[in-house]
Amino acid sequence: MKEYIDSCSIDLTVTSPPYDDLRNYNGYSFNFEKTAEELYRITKKGGVVVWVVGDKTHKGSESGTSFKQALFFKEIGFNLHDTMIYRKENPLPQNHNRYEQEFEYMFVFSKGKPNVFNPKKEPCRTAGMKYDYSKRGGVASIEECNPAVRRKSVCLVTKDEKTKGNIWSYLVGMHKSTSDKIAFQHPAIFPEKLAEDHILSGLRKETLFLTLLWVVEQRPRWLL
């Protein structure tokens, strides 16, 4: 990357690197530590890296690769801004003695405080409902715990929308992860809607976005 990408030039990176040996990359294994350090070098102050990763189960135990990588990102200077979940709505059933594996981690690392946050919104189930906290017991403790009620009026109205939680669900597989058939030549893809959601959440117009493509030809590539 040093030959092509300037230091402190990237606003957002979204990628899902090879982890453990869950997929066949023609014998290629990447240097995680070097990749993480390069990501820190090229990320702007206030920039973000979204790192989608999971764990292999071997001899009855999960590898812990995801946690090890997250801790290394912290060691080299990134903040672990958010630990998000990528939930698969239709995971492939497997035969084992544990609950079905239906999620991966989406670690959101930031170089300092993120410059941009355009949160996804979802409807509030109780939109428009009024709550009069003056008629409830334990008002003092509510005011101590919830800044939203630290005001003269204790009557609140639920808004129409709220910021979406950090568990995002997607359909996966053919005709679901993407409509682009050529994408399935790659051994491990994630839904293009997942990438779109992170891009819209973390970028302004006219900012620079990087996606690392871990291609089968045994080397990483990138798109700006």
Mean pLDDT calculated for residue range 59-69: 92
Q: Do 78 and 142 fall within a single domain?
A: no
Dihedral pair phi/psi, residue 166, rounded to 5°: -100, 20
The predicted pLDDT at position 68 comes to 94
> CA 180 → CA 88, 176, 191, 192, 195, distances in Å?
19, 10, 11, 10, 14
Query: Domain check: are 170 and 157 in the same one?
Result: no
Domain match, 208 and 130 both: no
Helix axes 32-42, 65-75, angle to 10 degrees: 40
Q: Within this chain, do residues 126 and 21 fall inside the same structural domain, yes or no?
A: no
Total count of domains within the chain: 2
pLDDT tens-digit readout, 190-222: 788 899 999 999 988 766 666 655 433 434 444
For the residues 62-68, what does the mean pLDDT come to? Answer: 92
Residue 115 lies inside a defined structural domain of this protein: yes
Identify whether residues 110 and 86 lie together within a single domain.
Answer: yes
The arithmetic mean of pLDDT across residues 79-90, rounded, is 95
What pLDDT, on a 0 to 100 scale, did the predictor assign at position 27? 45
Q: Please tell me the predicted confidence (pLDDT) of residue 29.
A: 57
Does 70 have pLDDT greater than 80?
A: yes
| Cα-based distances in Å from 191 to 62, 124, 170, 195 | 24, 26, 7, 7
The mean pLDDT value for 49-59 works out to: 90
Same domain, 105 and 137: no
Question: What pLDDT is recorded for position 26?
Answer: 45
Q: Based on the number of CB atoms within 10 Å of its own CB, is 36 exposed (0-12), middle (13-18) or buried (19 or more)?
A: buried
- 104 and 54 in contact (C-beta within 8 Å)? yes
Task: Judge if 136 and 97 occupy the same domain.
Answer: no
Does 103 lie in the same domain as 34? yes
Which residue segment(s) compose the domain that 99 sits in? Answer: 10-120+164-223
Residue 151: the pLDDT is 54
Domain of residue 50, CATH code: 3.40.50.150
pLDDT (mean) for 70-94: 94
pLDDT reading at 58 higher than 60:
yes
Residue 1 lies in a domain: no
- pLDDT one-digit tens code per residue, 125-177: 988 888 876 666 554 555 555 665 555 556 788 899 999 999 999 988 766 65
Question: pLDDT per residue over 19-40, tens digit each?
Answer: 666 444 444 457 899 999 999 9
Residues 152 and 130 both lie in one domain: yes
Answer yes or no: is 25 within a domain: yes
Asked if 27 and 134 sit in the same domain, the reply is: no
Q: Tell me whether residue 18 is in a domain.
A: yes
Structure confidence at residue 134 (pLDDT): 65
In a domain, 4, yes or no: no
Looking at the fold, whether 177 and 143 belong to one and the same domain comes out as: no
Q: Alpha carbon of 221 to those of 7, 34, 192, 207, 214: distances in Å? A: 17, 15, 17, 20, 6
pLDDT given at position 188: 60
Enter the pTM of the model: 0.78
**Do 85 and 110 have their domain in common?**
yes
